[in-house]
Structure 1
Amino acid sequence: MSNLKNKVAIVTGAASGIGLACAQRYAREGAVVIGLDRNRTDAWNSFEAAIDACRFHQVDVTDADVTNTAVARTVEEFGRIDILLTAAGIGEAGPVNMLDEDTWDRVINVNLKGTFLSIKAVLDTMMAQRSGSIVTVASVEGLNGTEGGSVYNASKGGVVMLTKNIAIDYGRLGIRCNTICPGFINTPLLHEVMDAMPDFKKDVERETKIGRFGKPEEIAGAAYFLASDDASFVTGHSLVVDGGYTAGHSHGIVELMGLV
């Protein structure tokens, strides 16, 4: 695997969960990491204290002016942007008849509009460089519907299609764009949902063929590959990292055959 030495990477949602794990992996591979998030966390502070080549900007990704300012400061300080990873997201959902308009707007604004604004903010720089790797974070729920998912599924499906369009429109300018579709990953966002629905949690664990939830570091490994030169001919792709969740359905047959 090639490393990311001297690359400049912006990571949204960097203060926790998947975003933090990706920021840490990029830093270990030699990148300068600029973290964007609404709030600092103790986990980010510990990471920043251990790594010289990182910065943090308090950013709400739904605010174009604040996002553009953070990107402009990055370009002013480091002269370029090589990688953008968009991990900022929220997980609210519900059946449509039970979903209020404010929740719909909030999820679409953070998950889809926030991704759009983050990409838009770096494109001029990447176009001028004629190089760049954009890695969005969608979800398996953006590929297949999930019971009660409605707005979350819609927002992540939008991220998948936006990613494809960025790859189509900017590929000849040297800009690649791919999305990671995580399954159920052990993050604070997952626990917000799962802890209130223990039966759902057991069912998801059963349908995840590896038999456990994923780790943020396992998504970070995919994010590293897609950002690296090893993925130089990969663009417009949706990389599913889900422990086999979307491979097919389980009905207890393998247990009957003793394959456990």
Structure 2
Amino acid sequence: MARLQNKVALITGAASGIGLACAQRYASEGAVVIGTDIQDREDWCSLVGGDPENALYKLDVTDGAAQKAIADDLITRFGRIDILLTAAGVGAGGPINMLDEDAWDKVVDINLKGTFLSIKAVIDQMMAQRSGSIITIASVEGINGTEGGSAYNASKGGVVLLSKNVAIDYGRLGIRCNAICPGFIETPMLESVMDAMPEFRADIGKQVKLGRFGRPGEIASAALFLASEDSSYVTGHSLVVDGGYTAGHSHGIVEMLGLV
């Protein structure tokens, strides 16, 4: 069943990781997929199914004019934008006393302002067509704090509340907006973070109740649900997909009881 047949989807951060997995899943469900990313990827169209209408644009999500130009091009070509998924992001930060203003600005500008500009680029068209599904990629670190994560946590917490605000403001115009809050997902961004502090990988893994890090395709499955009519009465929600990481603390008791 092609749940996104005849839909037009715009995905930021689509060249790798969660964004690429979502592009592939949306294309497999019948959508025309337009991706954007700061990096080029010559094999992108073949990776998302080979449809010649699919395309990857090079884009800095902090450039509002460039975002609007791409959205306008989609409207000219297809007459509508049905789905926006904002996966562009960076993972960086540190305790405030160790974080300079430029580092703070980079994280907040890409993760939060970039999400705002992506939504702003498409919202007029969605209002005109009185329909649309906006899916933002936030993080479990936008719900619970994490050591040393000041800028990243703040930016993703902002994405969570921005998504709720969009749901409130535009719901009566047929526009839904939901956030996905991934846990620790095996992506290039996670690998770059873990490479810098490998001693923490095992400790973090112990707190994931399913006993492993997630896969990008598992986030794509959640993103498909939120893009499709299967979630027609879901808006303003923050969907945690984290293998149980935020369910509560583990202290070794299940091991003592022989439940592993």
Query: What TM-score range do you get, normalising by the shorter chain?
Result: over 0.9
* Cα distance change of structure 1 residues 247 and 8 upon mapping to structure 2, 3 Å threshold: same
Aligned equivalent of 2:115: 115
Q: Which residue of 2 aligns with 1:253?
A: 253
Corresponding residue for residue 47 of structure 2: 47
Residues 176-212 of structure 1, C-alpha deviations (whole Å, 9 max, x = no match): 0000000000000001111221221111110000011
Q: CA separation in 2, counterparts of 1:4 and 1:46?
A: 19
Contact 2:23 2:48 in 1 (8 A): no
Which secondary structure state, in structure 1, belongs to the residue aligned with residue 27 of structure 2?
Answer: helix
Aligned-partner Cα distance in 1 for 2:74–2:144:
36
| Distance (whole Å) between structure 2 residues aligned to residue 135 and residue 45 of structure 1 | 22
One-letter identity of the residue aligned with 1:130: R
Alignment of 1:104-143 (within 5 A): 104-143=104-143
SS of equivalent to 1:180: strand
Q: What do the CA deviations read for 1:122-176 (whole angstroms, capped 9, x no partner)?
A: 0000000000000000000000000000000000000000000000000000000
Q: Secondary structure of 1:133's match?
A: strand
One-letter identity of the residue aligned with 2:230 = D
SS of residue matched to 2:196: coil
Q: CA RMSD in A?
A: 1.2
CA offsets, 1:225-245, max 9 Å, x none?
A: 000001000000000000000
Q: How does 1:154-173 map to 2 (within 5 A)?
A: 154-173=154-173
Distance 1:181 1:48, change over 3 A: closer
Q: CA deviation at 1:47?
A: 1.5
* In structure 2, C-alpha distance between the alignment counterparts of 1:248 and 1:89, rounded to whole Å: 26
Q: Which amino acid aligns with 1:182?
A: P
| Offset from partner CA, 1:38-65 (integer Å, 9 cap, x none) | 1122552541572333112111100011
Q: Give the structure 2 partner of residue 219 of structure 1.
A: 219
- Report the counterpart of residue 205 of structure 1 in structure 2: 205
Q: Matched residues in 2 for 1:232 and 1:114: separation?
A: 26
Q: What secondary structure is seen at the aligned counterpart in 1 of 2:120?
A: helix
CA contact (8 A) 1:163 1:236 kept: yes
Aligned length: 260
Match of 1:185 in 2: 185
Q: Establish whether residue 16 from structure 1 lines up as the match of residue 16 from structure 2.
A: yes
Alpha-carbon distance in structure 1 between the residues aligned to 2:239 and 2:216: 15
* Conserved 8 A contact 2:27-2:49: no
What secondary structure is seen at the aligned counterpart in 2 of 1:15? Answer: coil
2: CA distance between counterparts of 1:155 and 1:78?
A: 32
- SS of alignment partner, residue 34 of structure 1: strand
Partners of 1:172 and 1:34 lie apart in 2 by: 27
Corresponding residue of 1:175? 175
In the alignment, structure 2 segments of 5+ residues that lack a partner are none
Distance 2:227 2:165 in 1: 18
Farther-moved stretch of structure 1 (98-107 vs 40-49): 40-49
TM-score normalised according to structure 1 size: 0.98
Residue in 2 that maps onto 1:56: 56
2: distance between equivalents of 1:129 and 1:45? 28
Distance 1:59 1:65 in 2: 10
Task: Give the AA of the match of 1:184.
Answer: F
Structure 1 stretches lacking a partner, 5+ long: none
